[in-house]
Amino acid sequence: MNSSTRSCSTSFGVVTLLGIILVLLPLGAEGFAQSEEDQRAWLRSLDSLSSERMLADVRTLSGPSFNGRQAGSEDDLRSAAWVTDQFRASRISLAFVPLDRLNIPPGGKGDVRTGFMSKPHQAVVIAPEPTLQISTARIPDNQRLGTDFLPVLDSPSAHASAPIVFVGYGIVDAASNMNDYAGIDVNNCIVLFLRGKPDHFKGTITHADKVRVARQKGAVGYLTATGPVLSSYEIRRGMTGQPSAFYGLSPTPDNLPGAWISGSRAVQIIAGADHSNQERLRSLQEQLNRTSESRSFLTEYFGALEWESQQEQSPLINVIALLPGTDPQLTHETIVIGAHRDHFGRQAGLLFPGADDNASGTAVMLEVARAMAKAGAHPGRTILFISFSGEEQGLVGSRLYLERQVVPLALTRTMINIDHAGVGNGRLTVGVTGLEKSVALEAGQTAGLTDKLDVYGFFPGGDHVPFKEAGVPTITVVSGGVHPHFHQPTDTAETINPEILQTVARYVLALTWQLANAP
Ligand SMILES: [Zn+2]
């Protein structure tokens, strides 16, 4: 038994007192429709959760052999096979997914396995040693990869050299009377736009929208940066001006080569060639945040973007396993536990291991499945475990599942999503939609984690979103606090805190049991 099991519970600390514990369990007004033996099994499963095993799984998944698990790559397929093996080793049934065979090449890479839900997917890989120069007319200045810039990961090959034009947030929207391109010609230029949007802009705007407009206006490339004035969301997420890995998700005809540059590089470009006005970008951003008036101008700098990117086509794979329900009244209904497995792979010569994002959630999901199967805990409803791919590329795997549901959505009572479960401040951020928050709090009480939960409504971003949009109640579980290695090559297993894995697993197991057996 590890230390976190000891420290986080008042009523579950000593497994030998099972009888007493059963009396103390907060069964709620209705109680669970479970036998005493099932309650014992569930307590055994809670007690068997192993942070060591989860950490070992995080190490494996984020290790060099899986190469960062990019969706639609050979590594996606191999990591899917590894997850399948874990389910098999724990004697958890793989789901039957009828369309599998159509999508895996016969005799191709790996076996045709049940439990695989796949579709062809185009993966883009940026070749090693991309370069970005940001220069005045006389002095070329090579930027450092990873620190000063990162190509946007689905960027096309770049061979662009042009003057840099600042275009504010890069938004054109007639309804809001916003035009960051008013009175400025960006034809054959590289535009620089800030990430996000000003508070007064009430519409929605995506990165792909900004890229499309830049292309329509004749730009040959773009740079994007987090401005010095952070939104409250950016502050809460612990965002810095550092460039992060991400997919721009622009459709091919609209796409442009682009890079995320650091906030300090953006400040330098705006300050002018003589470096005189270091506060100018902040002041421009404050003005942009106050009114919709354009603040765009031609800077004194040139940009030069140079890299190759290749497209690869390979299947994207969700792995689906299940623990069948045993209550005749409930067994046709299901609780889904999902965690995305994919990350960014090896890009621009940098490995993105994705330990916290989201080898951690995958390890928690596997451990919860193992613990329930091994202890012989029989849930009333069927529990579906889904290892999603393609989350980082626009929730492709969870959207694929919704197209080909294994259990009809009308019978899917709740979707629990686990993401970023290995780093943070020891608290849990729980986002609830379509259910009373008391459901999430009750599970915290059962798990002995009442004082560690922060329960909110909708949590933006993640594989629960397509389920929520389809009307399925969702509960998202994320480790609270700052995740300093978010979308960085430094998101390694060494930064993972096993006690946090344990806390998340304990909570998810309690929540699953509660939802699987609630009347
Ligand atoms: Zn991510």
Cα of 418 vs centre of ligand 1, distance in Å, is 12
Ligand 1 mean position to 355 CA, how many Å? 10
Calculate how far, in angstroms, residue 487's C-alpha sits from the geometric centre of ligand 1.
6
Closest CA to 242 of 350, 169, 149, 164: 149
Question: How deeply is 369 buried, as exposed, middle or buried, from its count of CB atoms within 10 A (0-12, 13-18, 19+)?
Answer: buried
Residues pairing with 428 in the sheet: 453, 479
Question: What is the Å distance from ligand 1's center to 497 Cα?
Answer: 18
- CA of residue 120 to ligand 1 center, whole Å: 21
Q: How far away, in angstroms, is 381 Cα from ligand 1 center?
A: 30
Asked whether 318 and 116 are in contact (CB, 8 A), the reply is yes
Q: What is the pTM of this model?
A: 0.88
- CA 392 to ligand 1 centroid distance, Å: 6
Distance 343 CA to ligand 1 centre (A): 7
485 Cα–ligand 1 center, Å: 10
Report the C-alpha gap between 105 and 119 in whole angstroms: 11
Ligand 1 mean position, distance from CA 473 (Å): 22
CA of 420 to the centre of ligand 1 (A): 8
User: For 110-129, how does the pLDDT look when each residue is reduced to its tens digit (9 = 90+)?
Assistant: 444 479 999 999 888 999 99
Closest CA relative to residue 32, chosen from 381, 384, 321: 381
> How remote is the CA of residue 484 from the centroid of ligand 1, in Å?
12
Per-residue pLDDT of the chain (519 residues; tens, 9 = 90+): 333 332 333 233 323 233 333 333 333 333 444 678 888 888 899 999 999 999 999 999 999 999 999 998 999 999 999 999 999 999 999 988 866 544 454 444 444 447 999 999 988 899 999 999 999 866 778 899 999 999 999 999 999 999 999 999 999 999 999 999 999 999 999 999 999 999 899 999 999 999 999 999 999 999 999 999 988 777 776 777 899 999 999 988 889 999 999 999 999 999 988 888 999 999 999 999 999 999 999 999 999 999 999 988 888 999 999 999 999 989 899 999 999 999 999 999 999 999 999 999 999 999 999 999 998 888 999 999 999 999 999 999 999 999 999 899 999 999 999 999 999 999 999 999 999 999 999 999 999 999 999 999 998 889 999 999 999 999 999 999 989 899 999 999 999 999 999 999 999 999 999 999 998
- What is the spatial distance between Cα 387 and Cα 281, in angstroms, rounded to a whole number? 42
pLDDT tens column, 289-309: 999 999 999 999 999 999 999
The total number of residues shown for the chain amounts to: 519
Pairing of strands 309-323, 382-388: antiparallel
Distance CA 159, CA 180 (A): 25
Mean pLDDT of all residues belonging to the chain: 88
Q: Ligand 1 mean position to 357 CA, how many Å?
A: 5
Residue 321 CA, ligand 1 centroid: distance in Å: 23
Across 250-349, the runs of DSSP E, i.e. the strands, are 258-261, 297-307, 309-323, 334-340, 345-347
Handedness of CA 508, 65, 250, 302 (dihedral sign): positive
Q: How far is the CA of 486 from the centre of ligand 1 (A)?
A: 7
Judged by DSSP in three states, 515 sits in: helix
Give per-residue burial for 381-390: e unless 16+ CB within 10 Å, then b: bbbbbbbbbb
| 41: nearest Cα among 333, 361, 380 | 380
Distance from the alpha carbon of residue 419 to the mean position of ligand 1, in angstroms: 8
Helix-strand-coil percent breakdown of the chain, rounded to 5? 35, 25, 40
**Beta-strand relationship, 149-151 and 258-261:** antiparallel
